[in-house]
Chains A and B, each alone.
Chain A
Amino acid sequence: KAGVTQTPRYLIKTRGQQVTLSCSPISGHRSVSWYQQTPGQGLQFLFEYFSETQRNKGNFPGRFSGRQFSNSRSEMNVSTLELGDSALYLCASSRGGHQPQHFGDGTRLSIL
């Protein structure tokens, strides 16, 4: 059974640019959550999608957005990148509710 796949694994951007990250969940999982991890911080919740609907949203500015497609694949977009957006972005999928989350390997985003 294939795991959660995130692409790309690494990304370097400059301030002001925008970026799109992709996440393919485990087959049959309809819930996809996105997290940001920076040094010294725990996993900060960005948003959760379930069956193409945003179900929960974390405390991040509107520059961070996401969507989920009918095949449950999800994308996260960050516009007008700032230096502070440099982080590891993790995607996790689950069957929903509070079932265990299965994480991808993450996308490491560096902003120059």
Chain B
Amino acid sequence: ILNVEQSPQSLHVQEGDSTNFTCSFPSSNFYALHWYRWETAKSPEALFVMTLNGDEKKKGRISATLNTKEGYSYLYIKGSQPEDSATYLCAFGQAGTALIFGKGTTLSVSS
């Protein structure tokens, strides 16, 4: 059974802090790695889809890196703001198979 692990499970930071989370996934038969943001009372929103080893994606203050050989991806948030408070999900995909989601990292940002 394939497993996707996310750490930490939750964290609390102050406004302006930078933070990062980890997503670990199987390193075999890699096809794609997705990141989603899920805010309370909303639906999950896609942040990034990464397919190549060494990929780096950026969207505003949020960026992500990918290492398919060792099976991990990092999500970075620079200068966290209260509106960044959400659960961040990663999902791993192999060719022709469904995405496998991790349980997420819940970020809380205090002003």
Are B98 and A45 in contact (CB-based, < 8 A)?
A: yes
The residues in A between 43 and 78 inclusive whose CB is less than 8 angstroms from any CB of B are: 43-45, 48, 55-56, 58
Chain B neighbourhood of A40, CB < 8 A: 103
Beyond A98-B49, A99-B49, A101-B34, whether A45 also contacts B99 by CB under 8 A is yes
Q: In whole angstroms, how far apart are the Cα atoms of A48 and B98 in the complex?
A: 7
Number of chain A residues close to chain B: CB under 8 A: 24
B34, A42: Cβ atoms under 8 Å?
A: no
Output the least CB separation between A47 and chain B (Å). Answer: 8
Contact A98 B46 (CB under 8 A): no
Contact present for B101 and A90 (CB under 8 Å)? no
Which of the four size classes fits the interface of chain B? 20 to 34
| Measured CA separation A90–B100 after assembly (Å) | 14
Q: Complex Cα distance A47/B98, Å?
A: 8
Residue of B with least CB distance to A48 = B98
Interface string of B79-111 (1 = CB under 8 A from A): 000000000010101001111111110000000
Contacts of A33 in B (CB 8 A): 98-99
- Residue contact A90 to B44, C-beta cutoff 8 Å: yes
- Kindly identify, within residues 1 to 35 of chain B, every residue whose CB is under 8 Å from any CB belonging to chain A: 4, 31-32, 34
- Cα–Cα distance between A55 and B34 once the two chains are bound (Å): 19
**Residues of chain B at the chain A interface (Cβ within 8 Å):** 4, 31-32, 34, 36, 42-46, 49, 51, 89, 91, 93, 96-104
A residues with CB within 8 A of B: 4, 33, 35, 40-45, 48, 55-56, 58, 90, 92, 98-106
